[in-house]
Structure 1
Amino acid sequence: MSIREFIDAETYNVKRTMDLDPAAKSPWEVLLLYPHIKALRSYRIANRLWKNDHRFLARWVSNRARRKTGIEIHPGATIGRGLVIDHGMGVVIGETAIVEDDCQLYHGVTLGGVGTTDIKRHPTLKKGAYVGSGAKVLGNITLGESSKVGANAVVLQDVPDHATAVGMPARIITKQKGE
């Protein structure tokens, strides 16, 4: 990621947070005080280090961010633009997780793995996916585009595009037509 791409990603995240959070009063407030912005900034640095085989330093950066923000993002994860982690305390994003653009997570969400192999073991969130407070999305599964997961759900299987999943284990309760 170039410096220009880094700045563009940061700017987009601030704008998206302003659009989604009615409590956000100014871009400066979001940039300087919102924990998920700090966590994503650290993630971008750690991810670059990870990709350049500086694994120890990458983990050091991500662990420091976790201690400061309460948000744990593995430096090997793949995260697109516009991720908003509202009230982010306790969020965990695992090493092989893929989070596409414009997703939204709330506090206590885990994008967790199953198994101990080096293959993909964490979920993929397609563009615009929403995961409610306390939800656990586990394994190499996919949350479809603009899908929603209710608070405290435990998701163990794919959720189709534009669908809503709730419960333990999660079940599909609605599927909306494409937007």
Structure 2
Amino acid sequence: MRHFLAVLREDLQAARDRDPAARTALEVALAYPGVHAIWGYRIAHRMWREPGLRLPARLLSQIIRSITGIEIHPGAQLGRRLFMDHGMGIVIGETAMVGDDVVMFHGATLGGVSMNKGKRHPTLGDGVVVGSGARVLGPIWVGDGAKIGANAVVVKDVPAGATAVGVPAVIRRHERPAGAVRDDVHEPALELDPAIWI
């Protein structure tokens, strides 16, 4: 139980760390639907792991959805310190896997493109940013530190550190470690406005 409470406190702190508008822990705890949705998910996910509690877990997830406007299937696997900015309209499917320190903006979807059983939703690495209204679809991989622009539709893997924008999404910029030699000298780097995420 102590570990579970520590994770809930960590979720609260993640919102405070990532949102410059967050003034106090109490404000975040009472007024941030993204935090409420994650807390509800954490309870529903624990229930989901018990075969006899899957229906109540699913019902709890629907109650949380009706309160927050955020739908997270209790079978999804979410990492630590996930932050959902504004949150309204976010959908995370059953087989989605989300790494640590991920940021998702309102209206983002981690969805499927198949009705087959098995892995059908995306996997996000650590430190991924998913912009407002973005659709990340299918059993694809989004690498650590990648960024998905607002309203992008991503249906193919995104390399670590890359930025994907557009419909369908294309890689527009790839982060390289400082001092690395550029291999795209014929294509200038694209400087992206931070507003692309919201």
Q: Matches of residues 8-157 of structure 1 in structure 2 within 5 Å?
A: 8-53=6-51, 54-157=53-156
Residues 15 and 35 in structure 2, CA contact (< 8 A), matched pair in contact too: no
The 1-side partners of 2:144 and 2:177 are apart by: 9
For residues 124-171 of structure 1, what are the alpha-carbon distances to aligned partners after superposition, in whole Å with 9 as ceiling and x for unaligned? Answer: 010000000000000000111010000000000000000000000000
Percent same amino acid among aligned pairs? 52
The 2-side partners of 1:170 and 1:38 are apart by: 31
The 1-side partners of 2:27 and 2:170 are apart by: 38
Q: CA deviation at 1:88?
A: 0.4
Q: What SS does the corresponding residue of 1:157 show, helix, strand or coil?
A: coil
Moved over 3 A (4+): none
For residues 56-95 of structure 1, what are the alpha-carbon distances to aligned partners after superposition, in whole Å with 9 as ceiling and x for unaligned? Answer: 1001100000000000000000001100000100000000
TM-score normalised by L of structure 1: 0.96
Q: CA deviation at 1:178?
A: 4.5
Q: What SS does the corresponding residue of 2:164 show, helix, strand or coil?
A: strand
Structure 1 runs not aligned, ≥5 long: none
Residue 168 of structure 2 corresponds to which residue in structure 1? 169
The 2-side partners of 1:95 and 1:178 are apart by: 34
Residues 162 and 178 in structure 1, CA contact (< 8 A), matched pair in contact too: no
Q: Point out the structure with max Rg over C-alpha.
A: 2
The 1-side partners of 2:121 and 2:83 are apart by: 19
The 1-side partners of 2:168 and 2:161 are apart by: 19
Structure 2 runs not aligned, ≥5 long: 179-198
Deviates more, 1:87-96 or 1:15-24: 15-24
Q: CA deviation at 1:13?
A: 1.4
Q: What SS does the corresponding residue of 1:9 show, helix, strand or coil?
A: helix
TM-score normalised by L of structure 2: 0.87
Residues 135 and 154 in structure 2, CA contact (< 8 A), matched pair in contact too: yes
Q: CA deviation at 1:5?
A: 2.2
